[in-house]
Structure 1
Amino acid sequence: MPAGPAPAPAPAPAPSPDAPARAFPAHASYTAGVIKPSHVTQAAMDQAVQAHYAAWKGAYIRTTGGQGSWVKYDATNSTVSEAHGWGMVIAAYMGDRALFDDMLRYAQAHPSANAPHLMAWKQTLSGGVMKSVEGVDSATDGSMDVAYALLLAHAQWGSAGAYDYKAEALQVTREILAHEVNATAGNLMPGDWAQGSDRVHTRPSDFMTSHLLAFARADTVNAAKWTAVYDTVSAIVNHQYANGSAATGLVPDFMVQSGAAFVPVPGTYLESLHDGDFSYNACRTPWRLAMSHIVDGRTDLLASQRQTATWIAASAKGVPRNIRAGYYVRNGTNGKAFADWDDLAFTAPMAVNAMLGGPSSQEWLNSLWTSITGGDYGPTVDYYGDTIRMQVLLTVSGNWWAP
């Protein structure tokens, strides 16, 4: 018998709605002159990121309370918007839509009393439910990361699904402008609670330089305002570099307006006697301040950040474990350690700073990569260090792209 017609080929499966446009690893093109580790392959770096992501999720993601996924940041079953924003950013870069959407659901369940699209800064498990505590108001760092994460999500999955990521991002950015930016002085304030003298205080760990440029691109109606905030951040950092931190490039945990400039706060402002020094907030700044050059090609902060890279490599004698968990800015000799221990939260950001290049920077960056991926620190240390490290690894491995 003659052969019958060949069966029609099976239709190709429809693409998953959860498939990201830029699945990890999504190798980005950085600004010319930016370096990456040279002693390991790209595949090995990508594998390290994936391994640390699995360890991070297992150690810190929780769903208790039934309001969505949240990041466990201490032993009391609490979370903060800083942790939540970071988690959303990480999930977006890793293309993990299920986690991202569940984290967005949680953020929307815990709004600030002052602005409905800003997340309240802290929740604790109580009676089986996560409840906002210590003031139902926002923290600027959490707000900025949530907004940035939403822009990443829009780039990854579009905004035609269950969540309109782009519309939500714009709601958040506009409430940041309305409630967390001092329209008079142009500074980022600590949160939407800032009134009176708090309005002229700022926290350099909120100086997320590449985020600000992304907001200007996305929020076109307010692009000039976002550009002005970026310019204010740049002016604050460069004033400190020229007036006290010429040898180190360091900025402190908190600053306050003094005349036309911002200077390190005297004494305790919000957290400790080291609020005017490079401590557990400012430890993030060697990462945050470098990003507008690495990703966006801006050069206005390059001199201060290269100085930080040169200084810390010399101060640590080329050994990452010698980086100390705190240096004076205002309260002692600038750049002198006041802590005698190391901490992953201080070591990891210096790897992003080292990417800017300069004398001996390649060897220093290689040593930092080895240190933070297992040479000195295990797969889990603590929420703060591990969550900073996760974002640093995404950056240093070449997997941080701009939405």
Structure 2
Amino acid sequence: MQRRSFLGMLGLMSLSVAAPADSSGAGLVAAWRRWKTRFLEPEGRVVDPEQAGISHSEGQGYALLLAQGAGDRDAFERIEAWTRAHLLIREDALMAWRWTPGGGVMGEDWHNATDGDLFRAWALLRARRDSGWPVEQDIHSAITADISGSCLWPDPRAGAELLLRPSAEALATEERVLLNPSYIMPRALRELGTDTGDTRLVRAADHGETCLAELAATGLLPDWIDVTARGYESPTGHDLRSAYDALRIPLYLVWSGRDAHAAVRLAASQLAPDEPSGAVTVARGEAGEPTATSDLPGYRAVARLAACSPVEPPGAPSLDGPYYPAALHMLAALAARENSACAPPK
């Protein structure tokens, strides 16, 4: 599934002067207020302006998590209400992955995207467990059960190990499984698995980290890849490249306390800013050659997080830009706050 416009991500933008590290969380709350003004409609729909104003399950899951992290219960409840009213059209507890203004969920857009469901379930768990908000446990438990039952698949190389599929409808046979490495969020999988007692999710987190280390050893962290009985092969239906999806790999690993992971070290070296321009390499081809750079602050924030450098909450240059890098910047700031190894100094 192609989620975002390539052109919308290549624009260049100047960076503001960095402020002192935000250890209180006030900067993140202020950034959230600006982010939701730009990307969140009053009814709770997250808008992706670079894709004709569509909404997707990824955006709804991200926004739920950011609202919880910022302590914004009102926004959290509006986001969840819109999501239930418009994306919960399947027979299971998973979301349709795309909603289009004037059309709703069309064609195969009813397929789920596992990362959106994973982040929604994790946000609901955190809201109940950490914020004390009135969220019924059976909601995130039902999502977790359907991720476990429909979105995990045996690794063709080792049947006892579980892969996180990008969708319940994605390619998966005894010989070949389509994998999006950037969907692997170990912390969310482990916390949901621990809370519900579903050890399959914990096993998927463990094996996911193993797969990411194996891919890092090849020198390329791909957006998509097939896992086959013979090893890793070119992905079915996708180009073999490392680009905007793969930017989330180091983000999720650092957030999970794995800042020393081989994939994080590789990403830190490959994303390293080109001084004095400050641009980071955001896309590489099949052979690992750079194919695109950008100095958008959101992408630079991920590069800083991968290097375990301080990450400031986004300001106007980031939040006035495209949706995806602005969302990554918000997530990177939250990840930095929640990972003691890379947290801002107090």
What is the TM-score with the length of structure 1 in the denominator?
0.70
* Pair 389,134 (structure 1): closer, same or farther in 2 beyond 3 Å: farther
Q: Partners of 1:286 and 1:103 in 2: how far apart?
A: 27
**Aligned counterparts, 1:223-238, within 5 A:** 223=199, 225-238=200-213
Residue identity in the other structure for 2:225: M
* Pair 170,399 (structure 1): closer, same or farther in 2 beyond 3 Å: same
Q: Partners of 1:340 and 1:184 in 2: how far apart?
A: 34
Q: Is the 8 A contact 1:111 1:117 kept in 2?
A: no
SS at 2:283's partner residue?
A: coil
Residue identity in the other structure for 1:87: A
Deviation at 1:81, TM superposition (A): 0.2
Q: Is the 8 A contact 1:61 1:69 kept in 2?
A: yes
Partner of 1:27: none
- Aligned pair 1:49/2:28, yes or no? yes
Q: Is the 8 A contact 1:324 1:343 kept in 2?
A: no
- Indicate which of 78, 88, 93 corresponds to 2:54: 78
- Aligned pair 1:304/2:275, yes or no? no
Partner of 2:139: 168
Q: Partners of 1:94 and 1:291 in 2: how far apart?
A: 16
Deviation sequence 1:311-345 (CA, Å, 0-9, x none): 433xx3455722023123xx22x2x3111444445
Partner of 2:4: none
Q: Partners of 2:169 and 2:252 in 1: how far apart?
A: 23
In structure 2, runs of 5+ residues without a counterpart are: 1-17, 157-161, 341-346
SS at 2:152's partner residue?
A: coil
- Aligned pair 1:262/2:232, yes or no? yes
Partner of 1:350: 303
* Pair 260,134 (structure 1): closer, same or farther in 2 beyond 3 Å: same
Deviation at 1:96, TM superposition (A): 0.9
Deviation sequence 1:146-172 (CA, Å, 0-9, x none): 01101111124446x4x41x2211110
* Pair 373,115 (structure 1): closer, same or farther in 2 beyond 3 Å: same
Q: Is the 8 A contact 1:69 1:103 kept in 2?
A: yes
Deviation sequence 1:222-275 (CA, Å, 0-9, x none): 12x112201221221121222x21xxxx41100101325334x25x724xxxx3
Deviation at 1:373, TM superposition (A): 4.0
Q: Is the 8 A contact 1:173 1:215 kept in 2?
A: yes
Partner of 1:131: 104
SS at 1:381's partner residue?
A: coil
- Indicate which of 56, 73, 89 corresponds to 2:65: 89
Q: Partners of 1:240 and 1:393 in 2: how far apart?
A: 26
Q: Partners of 2:21 and 2:226 in 1: how far apart?
A: 44
- Report the count of equivalent residues: 315
Q: Partners of 1:308 and 1:55 in 2: how far apart?
A: 29
Q: Partners of 2:62 and 2:30 in 1: how far apart?
A: 18
Q: Partners of 1:304 and 1:284 in 2: how far apart?
A: 11
* Pair 318,340 (structure 1): closer, same or farther in 2 beyond 3 Å: closer
**Aligned counterparts, 1:215-230, within 5 A:** 215-220=192-197, 222-223=198-199, 225-230=200-205
Residue identity in the other structure for 2:321: V
Q: Partners of 1:231 and 1:173 in 2: how far apart?
A: 17
- Indicate which of 168, 184, 189 corresponds to 1:207: 184
Deviation at 1:107, TM superposition (A): 1.8
Q: Is the 8 A contact 1:122 1:134 kept in 2?
A: no
Deviation at 1:114, TM superposition (A): 4.6
Partner of 1:337: 290
Q: Partners of 2:180 and 2:263 in 1: how far apart?
A: 18
**Aligned counterparts, 1:1-400, within 5 A:** 40-42=20-22, 46-63=25-42, 68-74=43-49, 76-111=52-87, 114-126=90-102, 131-135=104-108, 136-158=110-132, 161=134, 163-164=135-136, 166-183=137-154, 185=156, 186-196=162-172, 200-220=177-197, 222-223=198-199, 225-242=200-217, 244-245=218-219, 250-259=220-229, 261-263=231-233, 265=234, 269-270=237-238, 275-293=239-257, 302-313=261-272, 316-317=273-274, 321-328=278-285, 331-332=286-287, 334=288, 336-355=289-308, 365-366=309-310, 369=311, 373=314, 377-396=317-336, 398-399=337-338
Q: Partners of 2:304 and 2:318 in 1: how far apart?
A: 17
Superposed CA RMSD in Å reads 2.9
Q: Is the 8 A contact 1:239 1:261 kept in 2?
A: no
Using the aligned pairs only, state the percent identity: 22
Deviation sequence 1:32-64 (CA, Å, 0-9, x none): xxxxxx982445x7343233212101101114x
Deviation at 1:211, TM superposition (A): 0.9
Residue identity in the other structure for 1:322: A
